[in-house]
Amino acid sequence: MGEPNGKHPDSDRVEAVPEGDAILVCTPCHGHRVLFPIDEAVAGARLDVICLVGAEVWLVDLVADGQAETGLRPVWTQAKPEAGQ
């Protein structure tokens, strides 16, 4: 599961899938694996993610990181529910 601070350890990285046509991120809440097409996985992208395990809604910003294998680092923000929901 997650670490004591509530953040899943796999949520700190962006992985390339072996086929090279997508990237993989894991949600910070439950470590749910989410795939995105490689053309969406660019530095500066902001992607919507829904954790299917806990139904949390997240935004992930992909930030350039020269030390990461994929050159990207995820920055997670929990989305606020829209008014009336």
Domains of the chain, residue spans: 9-78
Phi, psi at 60, each rounded to 5°? -120, 125
- Cα three-residue angle 54-59-65, rounded to 5 degrees: 120
- To the nearest 10°, the Cα dihedral for 13, 59, 76, 80? -160
List pLDDT tens digits, range 28-84.
999 999 999 999 989 999 999 999 988 899 999 999 999 998 999 999 999 876 655
pLDDT at 76: 96
